[in-house]
Amino acid sequence: MRHVFLILDQSVNMEDNDLKPSRFMCLKKLSEQFILEFYDQNPISQIGVIAVKNGKGQKISELSSNINKHIANIKAQKACEGQFSLYNGLERAYKTLSSMPSYASREIIIVAGSLTSVDPHPINDMLTQLAESNIRVSVIGLSASVQIFNRVSSATNGTYNVMLDEQHLQELLRLQCAPPAATPTMEPVW
C-alpha cells in the first residue's frame, strides 16, 4: 500500500513553452495519465495533489483513492503565479504523511520547472523530519539539474531525474508508478 503526494510546480516558470503548449498544460495532461496508471498498478493506494505557487503549497486534492476527483481538480487549475517553494510544498505533504501508518510506503513526487526555491525556513530541518519519518521524496526536474532537488532526493532515498523532452517526462512519471522496494524500517503487517 502506498500513500503518495504529487507536488506540482505552478509557478510562473511553468508558463515556458519548451513543452507544448506550455510546461503547465503538458504537465496537467501527463499528471492525469500518471494518476490513471498509478491506480492501475496500485489499486489500494492513495494519492493527494499539492500545487505550489506564490510561495505556498496548496492542497488541491486530499489523500484518497478517488481518481475522478484528482483528475477534475488538476484540470481545474488555471493560473501559474509567483515563485516555487520547495519547503512549503514538502511541509504541506509531510503534515499528512507523517500520520500515515509506517507499514505503508509514504512518498512525495515533485515535478518542478523552477530553478530556484523561495523558502521561509532552511530546508535542513525538513530533510531531517522526512528522513526520520521514512518519507521518500523523488523529484522530476523540467529545466536543469538543481542541487537542492538532488540533495532532498538523496537524503530520503528517492530519485532525481531531469527530463529531456515530453516523451521522456512521460516515461519518468511512468517509472514512479511502480511500487518502491520495502525498507527495513517499515512495520510488517501480520
CA 156 vs CA 5, 16, 62, 86, 177: distances in Å: 15, 30, 23, 14, 18
CA 11 vs CA 55, 57, 76: distances in Å: 8, 11, 16
**Residue 5: helix, strand or coil by DSSP?**
strand
Per-residue model confidence as pLDDT tens digits over 70-96: 999 999 999 999 999 999 999 999 999
With a cut of 80, say whether residue 187 has pLDDT above it: no
With a cut of 80, say whether residue 185 has pLDDT above it: no
User: pLDDT-derived band of residue 188, with 50, 70 and 90 as boundaries?
Assistant: low
pLDDT for the residue numbered 180: 85
| CA 33 to chain CA centroid, nearest Å | 15
Dist CA 96 CA 44 (whole Å)? 18
At 173, list the grid cell: 512519471
pLDDT for the residue numbered 186: 57
